[in-house]
Amino acid sequence: MRLSATQNLSDGELYYIIVNGVRLTGMLAWGAAGTGEADENWYLVSFIRHLPQITPEELDEMKGLNPKTEADRAEDQQEQEFLKGGEPSQNPGATHHH
């Protein structure tokens, strides 16, 4: 979303995609177009526009809002590494070899 392919879309195009999704892709429609300033779809448009300039502080703030804990994320990461065929990084059971 930070790349020009997305950033070169107009605000109206981003809004349309958020509200309607992209047919026949995984991008689903997020909901009805709202009205006026209370229309949260425009907040998402602003958010996408802000992504290229996002600061480390803002990223930390967002991580703090993630319902997944640090431990959950570490576990996810280990699973991903395992699925990619790597050695599990911190697995006490992994010392058993045949």
Q: Contact positions toward ligand HEM, by CB under 6 A?
A: 5-6, 9, 14, 17-18, 22, 25-27, 30, 44, 48
- Largest distance between two CA atoms of the chain: 66
Looking up tokens 């300039």, which residue turns up? 53
* 18 C-beta neighbours (distance < 10 Å), count: 21
Q: Which residue of this chain has its Cβ atom nearest to ligand HEM in the complex?
A: 27
C-beta of 24 vs 71, nearer to ligand HEM? 24
Question: Considering beta carbons, is residue 40 or 81 the nearer one to ligand HEM?
Answer: 40
Q: How far apart are CA 50 and CA 52, in angstroms?
A: 6
Tell which residue, 14, 89, 77, 71, has the closest CA to residue 47. Answer: 14
Q: Give the residue with the Cβ less far from ligand HEM, 1 or 94.
A: 1
**Cβ 77 to ligand HEM shortest distance, Å:** 20
Minimum Å distance from CB 64 to ligand HEM?
19
